[in-house]
Structure 1
């Protein structure tokens, strides 16, 4: 999921992912760096923190004004990230415990996202019959497997979004591309990896908005 090398540290992975979701910036503020250090000291996996950042970015994207970053600070993600950390700890503590079967049976975030995506696609096929053939193929070839990792889930959602984008008329595809580029902010100080991830995030967000995917 991250485009950094495998040797990158937890802090590097989180910073790169956050700046990509934010859409601009070179480094974290002192207060954000302090918060990141506290998460690193807790020993939680990068994917857990990334889930919280992704959820915060998705919620904030629709409220951001043109030219403004989606997320102003890593601290803006704190509530979502710490909620994900809590869920992760509950699942870890409950796994294999006789007295915590209810926790162990709780579906993971990836499983919930997968089910939500399938339900959204089924509704989309009913609303727009012209996309139904592509949706049915995606259901059979891509969504037959429930992802167990955050990276695989992101890859699956990206593939679905790009396939459906290509299925739209050219004029509409062009409009969505322009809309995604128009929402980008100053990225000149971002790494190539972060810029690439930021562009993908915005394009797929525009596509999901157009198709009504992942609506609550």
Structure 2
């Protein structure tokens, strides 16, 4: 979902991700920057941090908004979710390089299988035909794109009136901020559409 070039720094990618998921422009405070520094020092893949931010943003959508109507006000608000994702990643990768440990499937492959299983469960007995055609992703980023696409396709599976209601809700969640570029606004709208689809289908966040 990132609109940044491949050469973008870890800090730039985190801020871009946060703004996109939040739906509002924001400047990082010194405390927020210190938090990004700590995550960068851990040498955790950016996608792990992004997943925590996304989960925090989704959770904030359904919590009571603050006085400004914004659930996720700062990067610190996402710290608990990001730290939880980092802990999962570290627990899963611990000891994986030992010679006597059998190789496991990569995270993105495990996520793909969990995604397919979860969609089959929530759509049973009318499992959509497109699910069997979803290719296995090649990396973290591909798994994220695939999950977002699947959620948008699930949105289309809903009755017309329900789908229209959710699309309006998603658009209302994205602030009409003049500082947003058209591309950033599209990316933010895509996230919010996926978020309302996840809630409508009661689909869990996958790892």
Q: 1:145-184 counterparts in 2 under 5 A?
A: 145=136, 147=137, 149-184=139-174
Q: Which runs of 5+ in 2 are unaligned?
A: none
1:1-216 alignment to 2 at 5 Å? 1-65=1-65, 68-98=69-99, 101=101, 105=104, 108=107, 110-111=108-109, 113-126=111-124, 132=126, 135=128, 137-142=129-134, 145=136, 147=137, 149-214=139-204
Residues of 2 paired with 1:4 and 1:215: CA distance? Answer: 25
In structure 2, relative to structure 1, the CA distance for the partners of 1:12 and 1:214 (3 Å cut) is: same
Query: Conserved in 2, the CA contact under 8 Å of 1:17 and 1:50?
Result: yes
More helix by share: 1
Instruction: Determine if contact 1:51/1:150 at 8 Å carries over to the other structure.
Output: no
Per the normalisation by structure 1, the TM-score is: 0.79
Give the whole-Å Cα distance in 2 for the aligned partners of 1:205 and 1:94.
Answer: 34
Unmatched segments (≥5 aa) in structure 1: none
CA distance in 1: counterparts of 2:152 and 2:25, whole angstroms: 27
Q: For 1:178 and 1:62, how far apart are their aligned partners in 2?
A: 16
Structure with more relative contact order (C-alpha pairs < 8 Å, separation 6 or more): 1
Separation in 1 of the partners of 2:110 and 2:139? Answer: 12
Q: Deviation at 1:14?
A: 0.4
- Cα deviation code 1:128-157 (max 9, x no counterpart): x5xx26x1x222101x52x35332122112
Larger deviation, residues 151-160 vs 206-215: 206-215
User: CA, structure 1 residues 5+64, in 2 after alignment: closer, same or farther (shift >3 Å)?
Assistant: farther
CA drift at 1:193: 4.0
* TM-score normalized with structure 2 length: 0.82
